[in-house]
């Protein structure tokens, strides 16, 4: 468009005959400090110039209001979460101070942060975000923009339900989001956000064909919008799902591609998850030294993230690599520490998988007595935790084999594989949670 607005373009703009992309370019230019072009608007289109000046004043006023709203959001969040959980939704419905865009975004961000650390808390926060969006004032934010944010809240809620393996409720949440986006602004990035999370949902149900078709659409949106971050997220999500589908080589390829495109400052948690799964798949593919080099480079990122589950997964992965490299004493110390942490967190399924990694180590060393003791300790813990009946039967099979001293590495891996395919937790892998 050049340094200044073309007079013909300005005339078409005034007549309302410009295409939507060209209208956006003209408006963006007029919002700059280009005095000659703003004066040209006033001279050629006096009534429009006056209207534009009034609109500019309104933009400045609304910008100041939003700045105050953002400043107030942290305090309002603390105030809301200080309430008893049972009263929070009602508080949102009756207190207009809480019905703001900034508070909704903070709740959704916090829900994503909790993810696999505490899925129940993540879901509670997402539901609060849905409640805030439901009570926002269209006169303040605009109905179509609210619908975009409302859809985003339902997506975060659906993702939290997906993490809990509550697939029926998750599907309902994604359907709600789809309906709202149809009444939104048409922002392609909001659509991509929905498609990314729905792909994870479908992959968790082993519906890989449907999931990959959605990721193709996300990649198309990313190319159209020239958004490398979105391209990176799409590649990483595809890598996660390929890992679940047991295609480690393809998973490695897509995770590497996604990591190259993702800016660490934009999503540290996703970057750590991508590095973690890439390291795991390299280990499982026998590329131990490459895995160790990658983990050494990524270790500061885990500590920068700093949450308990990320650090537990880091130590677990270090134990797996130590087993692969034959450092069995070091591996045993790491895995025993992780196992105790998982028991204290009441994560029964993860404890089962970790115990089978320990059993793998004992089997390599012919330590039948330790394996029997491990098996005896497993069942009472798991009966009172989140392990479903079929998985418990698989663990009982392992226990019986340990009692009869006929456990093989093949049996351990068979039981472990069954638990991973039919589990209700994140296990050692990260899965996309935000």
Which pLDDT does position 1 carry in this prediction?
Answer: 44
What distance, in Å, lies between the first and last C-alpha atoms of the chain? Answer: 38
Q: What CA–CA distance (Å, rounded) separates 99 from 129?
A: 10
Q: For residue 138, is it left (φ>0), alpha (ψ between -120 and 50) or beta?
A: alpha
> In three state form, how does the secondary structure of 334-396 look?
HHHHHHHHHHHCCCHHHHHHHHHHHHHHHHHHCCHHHHHHHHHHHHHHHHCCCCCHHHHHHHH
Q: What angle do CA 328, 248, 206 make, to 5 degrees?
A: 115
CA-nearest of 286, 412, 251, 215 to 276 is 251
Which pLDDT does position 352 carry in this prediction?
Answer: 77
Residue with tokens 């983990």: 295
* Cβ contact 92:99 at 8 Å: yes
R_g over Cα of the chain: 26
Number of neighbouring beta carbons within 10 Å of residue 239: 28
For the residues of 51-91, what is the DSSP string, one character each? HHHHHHHHHHHHHHHHHHHHHHHHHHHHHHHHS-HHHHHHH
* Parts of the chain with a pLDDT under 70: 1-3, 10-11, 13-25, 27-28, 30-33, 38-39, 41-63, 348, 379-396, 399-400, 402-434
* Cβ contact 80:92 at 8 Å: yes
Which pLDDT does position 371 carry in this prediction?
Answer: 77
* 0.85 surpassed by pTM: no
Q: What CA–CA distance (Å, rounded) separates 24 from 330?
A: 61
CA-nearest of 244, 239, 247, 248 to 421 is 244
Three-state DSSP state, 325: coil
Q: What CA–CA distance (Å, rounded) separates 345 from 361?
A: 23
Which pLDDT does position 434 carry in this prediction?
Answer: 46
CA diameter of the chain: 94
Which pLDDT does position 192 carry in this prediction?
Answer: 96
Residue ranges of domains in the chain: 7-44, 310-434
Which pLDDT does position 76 carry in this prediction?
Answer: 95
Q: For residue 393, is it left (φ>0), alpha (ψ between -120 and 50) or beta?
A: alpha
Q: Where are the alpha helices (DSSP H) in 135-267?
A: 138-141, 143-163, 167-182, 188-204, 208-224, 228-244, 248-261
CA-nearest of 327, 244, 334 to 288 is 327
3-state helix, strand, coil in the chain (%, to 5): 80, 0, 20
* Cβ contact 434:115 at 8 Å: yes
Cα torsion 35, 40, 42, 48: sign: negative
Which pLDDT does position 364 carry in this prediction?
Answer: 83
Give the C-alpha distances (Å, rounded to integers) separating 325 from 28, 114, 225, 252, 322: 58, 33, 44, 20, 5
Which pLDDT does position 3 carry in this prediction?
Answer: 67
Which pLDDT does position 426 carry in this prediction?
Answer: 46
Q: What CA–CA distance (Å, rounded) separates 99 from 155?
A: 19
* Residue 287: DSSP 8-state: -
Q: What CA–CA distance (Å, rounded) separates 146 from 129?
A: 12
Q: What CA–CA distance (Å, rounded) separates 346 from 118?
A: 11
Instruction: Determine the length of the chain.
Output: 434
Q: What CA–CA distance (Å, rounded) separates 387 from 289?
A: 34
pLDDT digits (tens, 9 = 90+) for 72-127: 999 999 999 999 998 999 999 999 999 999 999 999 999 998 887 788 899 999 99
Helices (H) and strands (E) in the chain, counts: 22, 0
């Amino acid at each position: 468009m050049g340094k200044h607005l073309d007079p013909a373009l300005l005339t078409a703009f005034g007549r309302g005959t410009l295409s939507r992309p060209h209208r956006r370019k003209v408006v963006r230019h007029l919002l700059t400090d280009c005095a000659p072009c703003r004066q040209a608007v006033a001279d050629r289109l006096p009534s429009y110039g006056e209207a534009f000046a009034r609109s500019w004043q309104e933009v400045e006023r609304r910008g100041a209001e939003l700045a105050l709203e953002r400043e107030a959001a942290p305090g309002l969040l603390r105030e809301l979460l200080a309430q008893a959980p049972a009263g929070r939704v009602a508080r949102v419905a009756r207190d207009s101070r809480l019905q703001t865009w900034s508070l909704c975004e903070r709740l959704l961000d916090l829900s994503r942060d909790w993810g696999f650390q505490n899925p129940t808390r993540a879901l509670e926060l997402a539901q609060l975000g849905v409640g805030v969006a439901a009570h926002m004032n269209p006169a303040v934010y605009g109905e179509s923009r609210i619908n975009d944010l409302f859809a985003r809240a339902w997506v975060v809620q659906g993702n939290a339900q997906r993490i809990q393996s509550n697939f029926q409720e998750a599907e309902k949440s994604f359907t709600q989001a789809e309906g709202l986006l149809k009444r939104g602004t048409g922002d392609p990035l909001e659509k991509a956000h929905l498609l990314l999370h729905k792909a994870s949902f479908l992959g968790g149900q082993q519906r890989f064909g449907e999931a990959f078709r959605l990721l193709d659409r996300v990649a198309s949106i990313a190319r159209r919008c020239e958004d490398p971050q979105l391209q990176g997220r799409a590649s990483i999500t595809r890598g996660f799902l390929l890992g679940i589908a047991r295609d480690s080589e393809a998973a490695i390829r897509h995770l590497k591609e996604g990591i190259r495109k993702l800016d660490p400052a934009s999503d540290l948690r996703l970057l750590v998850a991508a590095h973690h799964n890439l390291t795991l798949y390299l280990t499982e593919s026998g590329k131990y030294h490459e895995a160790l080099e990658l983990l050494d480079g990524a270790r500061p990122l885990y500590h920068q993230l700093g949450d308990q589950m990320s650090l537990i997964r880091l130590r677990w992965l270090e134990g797996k690599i130590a087993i692969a490299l034959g450092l069995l004493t070091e591996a045993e110390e790491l895995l025993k520490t992780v196992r105790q942490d998982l028991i204290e967190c009441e994560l029964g399924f993860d404890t089962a998988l970790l115990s089978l990694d320990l059993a793998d180590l004992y089997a390599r060393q012919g330590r039948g007595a330790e394996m029997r003791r491990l098996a005896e300790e497993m069942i009472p813990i798991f009966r009172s935790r989140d392990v479903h009946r079929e998985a418990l039967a698989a663990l009982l099979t392992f226990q019986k084999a340990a009692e009869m001293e006929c456990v093989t590495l093949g049996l351990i891996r068979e039981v472990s594989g069954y638990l991973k395919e039919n589990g209700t937790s994140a296990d050692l892998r990260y899965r996309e949670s935000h």
